[in-house]
A and B are shown apart, each in its own frame.
Chain A
Amino acid sequence: MLCLLALLFAFPTLAVEPSEILPDPALEARAREIGRALRCVVCQNQSIDDSSAEVAHDMRRAVRERLTAGDSDADVFAYMVARYGDYVLLKPPFKAGTLVLWLGAPLLLLVAGAALLLAARRRRHTPIVAPKPLDEEERRRLDALLKG
């Protein structure tokens, strides 16, 4: 969204500018896709495509230069990570440090779901207990009630 820090550090211009756009639409589409997944490092929660910060402009240009030079998408991401670390990726990489982030919620779903299903199965196998036959005392009271 808004770059509060960027205001401190740099003068604002625009998000993706017309002059940056690559002539090849397929390459430009890839650049956009990548741009949306890279974080503007001085912004709050904004991709470089949405940011007007100077550094976002440089990063967009670098993405396009790498793509024009024939890099794959993965190469471009690696290029950015080498300079700005994992922080630059809006989708954190799947590795030891982010295991809990990626698997935490699905694991929760699996465990809770499995526990619920097990409980349901156990319940199904519980035989419905037939009511205990009345004992002598109870039968006498019932008779009294019915008669009365």
Chain B
Amino acid sequence: MVAELGHFALILALAVALVQGTLPLVGASRGDLRLMTLGRTAALTQAFLVLLAFGALTQAYVTSDFSVANVVANSHSAKPLLYKISGVWGNHEGSMLLWALILALFGAAVAIFGANLPDTLRSRVLAIQALIGVGFLAFLLFTSNPFTRVYPAPPDGNGLNPLLQDPGLAFHPPLLYLGYVGFSVTYAFAIAALLEGRVDAAWARWVRPWALAAWCFLTLGIALGSWWAYYILGWGGFWFWDPVENASLMPWLAGTALLHSAIVVEKRDALKSWTVLLALLAFSLSLLGTFLVRSGVLTSVHAFAQDPARGLFILGFLLAVTGGGLALYAWRAPQLQGGGLFQPVSREGALILNNLLLCTLAATVLLGTLYPLFLDLLTGNKVSVGPPFFNATFVPLCAPLFAALCVGPFLGWKRAELWPALMRLRIALVVSLAAIVVAMTMIDSRSTLAALAFGFGVWLIVGSLASLSDRVRSGTLRTIPRSTLGMVISHAALGVVVLGSVATSSWNTELMHTMKPGDRVDFAGYSVLLDRMDEVRGPNYVAERATLNVSVGGKPYTVLQPERRLFTVQRRQVAETAIQTNLLRDFYATLGEGNPQQGWVIRLYLNPLAPWIWLGAALCAFGGFVSLSDRRLRIGAPSRRPSSLQPAE
């Protein structure tokens, strides 16, 4: 009954979305206020209906209603409650429903928080959001209905992929989707601006918070996914350049570029058509990622069950949204007149360099991800594009980006001098050079590149904080605008991420050892004793658990208990790593296969600064939220006035 209610709510939501996607557009072009205000009501109704559908599916999962096919395929009554709930989006249909839900919620958010938008702009934005929603809801209803019943209902379900039964992965998709779908708002704003033929400072100011919010969620989502890979896959890596990871990185890069170029539009009325293009691309790349993961054109670890018919549907949808947007862009964007002139060495110039490099990075990832497909189709040759390729192409491009990142904020708008800016960064320069020397001499003299990269990390942190030094000296730190503070935090946080990833991938220590209970091994100054092996029983798995007593200098230091879990329903083994962290390094242990006669293989890693990768990423997103809380974004409804009247910072 509840499932039918959900199904019905979904059908109603599609009907409402159709109304919301058409009438307000007509209203906006005719100036009919009644049709325009319809958009707001429809957006709220649609969100309510999709929420109802989502609630219905969640209810089916929580109560283990095995008359619903989706629950049978992806759940099991013995699963812990958290994974019953996360099972809702741990499969193709449910995750599409989550997409639709987040899309509708963003629509409702625009309806609620967009009160200060001009009526025509708001109704157009809502209508475009609804048109995207129509695509998703139709996709759900016609090809991926999560509410299909099975008769007779089986006694129990097939269970969820054991790899997904993990707190990190339970919340990874919702955060990621908040990011992907958040960019639908910037897309809608871009289309609306093209329809109106008007892009100005006010528009940039309206778009930026949405882009910022989406970017923050995407940052968190990517970080959570990477953290999950780090502790579940069991060999200490944190980024694998897998197609699915790449699919999330591309919109992140485009989104980051958008955040920066929107500033130029806001402050200087320049880079208009470029910013509109980025707003279109950020969402298009999000859709592209979804297409790649679900269509079966590429294989990936995380890929959902794949089906070419579904693939063609998503391709059609991708073409409609992206192609429609880009065609409108090709037609209307040339009319947008660029504004303020500037010299190459200026804040604008620095932001353009940032955009140029970020887009090249995104192009590198795109090419690397799709090239095997292209080459196979054209020539039948199979190639692999893996981490060593990206290390050789992506990483070097980061150097100029990071180098310029700290200089940009010291350059004035329109025209600036490079030398004074560098002079203000001289301390940061000295500290980073010192860091390189220290890394070369004290840590590892062989890896010059790692030391250099480490120096860049330090440069990002100190160089970003340097922009605060004037304010500290003059005692005006408290009056600093939140947006500036957010920028400083995010930039410095990037440095933290760089330090963490360089240190853990270049300077980690590793030991593999076959041990029997009672065996002891020395590892990086620690003494590790395999105390005992136990059989443990979880709610839906049985596990072998090793108890490792770690001591240092004869004193007990910590106890690590890595496990190997065998999930009984799926007959799949999953390694559960044990990690002890002191925030400066991770002591990381995994348990391999073994038996009492020959012993078990224990792998130990010491990953220096590893926690900084995710702390840094979280801090980066936090900087975004700080910037989002800037009062100018909340109150002081931006109005359309010439940007020259706004004080430059």
A and B touch in the complex (CB under 8 A): yes
- Cβ 8 A contact of B389, one of A14, A17, A21, A92: A92
11 A-B pairs in the complex with CB atoms less than 8 angstroms apart: A12-B573, A44-B301, A45-B240, A87-B383, A92-B389, A98-B371, A98-B383, A101-B385, A108-B360, A109-B360, A120-B343
Across the interface, name the chain B residue whose C-beta is closest to A104: B367
- Check A18 against B512 for contact (C-beta < 8 Å): yes
Tell yes or no: B474 within 8 A of A by CB: no
* Minimum C-beta distance from A116 to chain B (A): 7
- For residues 72 through 124 of chain A, which have their beta carbon under 8 Å from a beta carbon of chain B? 85-92, 97-98, 100-102, 104-106, 108-109, 112-113, 116-117, 120, 123-124
**Cα(A117)–Cα(B384), bound, Å:** 36
Q: From residue 198 to 233 of chain B, which have CB atoms closer than 8 A to chain A? A: 229, 233
CA distance A30 to B47 in the complex (A): 57
Q: Say yes or no: A44 contacts B389, CB within 8 Å.
A: no
Q: Is the CB of A117 within 8 A of B344?
A: yes
Which chain A positions have C-beta within 8 A of B301? Answer: 1-2, 4, 44-45
Closest chain-B Cβ to A20's Cβ sits at a distance in Å of 9
Cβ of B363 and Cβ of A105 under 8 Å apart? yes
B472 is an interface residue with CB less than 8 A from chain A: no
Q: Mark B residues whose CB is within 8 Å of A.
A: 163, 229, 233, 235, 237, 240-243, 299-301, 341, 343-344, 349, 352, 356-357, 359-361, 363-364, 367-368, 371, 375, 379, 381-389, 392-393, 397, 512-514, 573, 592-593, 601
Q: A44-B301, A45-B301, A91-B389 are in contact. Are A18 and B371 (CB under 8 A)?
A: no
Given contacts A2-B163, A39-B384, contact A90 B389 (CB under 8 A): yes
The smallest beta-carbon distance between B245 and chain A, in angstroms, is 9
Check B235–A91 contact: CB distance below 8 A: no
Q: How far is the CA of A15 from the CA of B237 in the complex (A)?
A: 13
Partner of B384, one of A88, A104, A113, A120: A88
Q: Are A104 and B363 in contact (CB under 8 A)?
A: yes
Question: Known: A44-B300, A90-B384. Is A101-B341 also a contact (CB below 8 A)?
Answer: no
Contact of A113 among B237, B243, B356 (CB under 8 A): B356
Across-interface contacts of B382 in A (CB, < 8 A): 85-87
B341 with A47: CB separation less than 8 A: no
Q: How far apart sit A116 and B235, CA to CA, in the bound complex (Å)?
A: 44
The one of B163, B363, B388 in contact with A108, judged by C-beta atoms closer than 8 angstroms, is B363
- Given A2-B301, A108-B363, is A15 in contact with B235 using a C-beta cutoff of 8 Å? yes
A50 touches B386 (CB 8 A): no
**Complex CA distance for A63 and B349, rounded to whole angstroms:** 49
A13 interface contact, C-beta 8 A:
yes
Please, how many angstroms separate the alpha-carbon atoms of A36 and B392 in the complex? 14
Q: Check B388–A101 contact: CB distance below 8 A.
A: no
In the complex, which residues of chain A have a beta carbon less than 8 angstroms from the beta carbon of B368?
Answer: 101
Contacts A18-B513, A50-B237; A1 near B229 (Cβ below 8 A): yes
Whether, in the assembled complex, A67 has its beta carbon less than 8 Å from a beta carbon of chain B, the answer is: no
Asked whether A55 is an interface residue with its Cβ less than 8 Å from the other chain, the reply is: no
Chain A residues, CB < 8 A from B393 = 102, 105-106
Asked if A37 is at the interface of the complex by the 8 Å CB criterion, the answer is yes
Measured between C-beta atoms, what is the minimum distance from B362 to chain A in Å? 9
Chain A residue contacts of B349, Cβ below 8 A: 120
Query: Which residues of chain A come closer than 8 Å to B392, judged between CB atoms?
Result: 91
Given the interface pairs A13-B593, A45-B301, the reply to whether A92 lies near B383 with Cβ below 8 Å is yes
Could you tell me if B514 and A92 are in contact, using CB atoms closer than 8 angstroms? no
CA distance A117 to B343 in the complex (A): 10
Q: Is the CB of A124 within 8 A of B383?
A: no
By a CB distance below 8 angstroms, the chain B residues around A13 are: 593
A90 B356 Cβ-Cβ under 8 A? no
Q: For the complex formed, measure the closest distance between the CB of B121 and the CB atoms of chain A, giving whole angstroms.
A: 30
| Per-residue B-contact encoding for A111-148, CB less than 8 Å = 1, 0 else | 01100110010011000000000000000000000000
Q: Is A22 an interface residue (CB 8 A)?
A: no
What B residues does A85 contact at CB under 8 A? Answer: 381-382
Residues of the B chain whose Cβ atoms lie less than 8 Å from the Cβ of A39: 384, 386
Least CB separation from A126: chain B residue: B341
Identify the interface centre among B368, B384, B592: most chain A CB within 10 Å of its CB: B384
Q: Is B379 a contact partner of A97 (Cβ separation < 8 A)?
A: yes
State whether the Cβ of A16 lies closer than 8 Å to any Cβ in chain B: yes
B592, A14: Cβ atoms closer than 8 Å? yes
Task: Select from chain B the residue with minimum beta-carbon distance to A7.
Answer: B572
User: Contacts of A97 on B, CB cut-off 8 Å?
Assistant: 375, 379, 381, 383
B218 shortest CB reach to chain A, Å: 21
List, in ascending order, chain A residues with CB within 8 A of B514's CB. 18
Residues of the B chain whose Cβ atoms lie less than 8 Å from the Cβ of A120: 343-344, 349
CA distance A12 to B512 in the complex (A): 18
* Choice from A14, A100, A101, A123 contacting B593 with Cβ under 8 Å: A14
Smallest CB separation, A22 vs chain B (Å): 13
Known: A21-B512, A39-B384, A44-B301. A101 touches B243 (CB 8 A): no
Proximity bits, A35-78, B CB within 8 Å = 1, else 0: 01101000011110010000000000000000000000000000
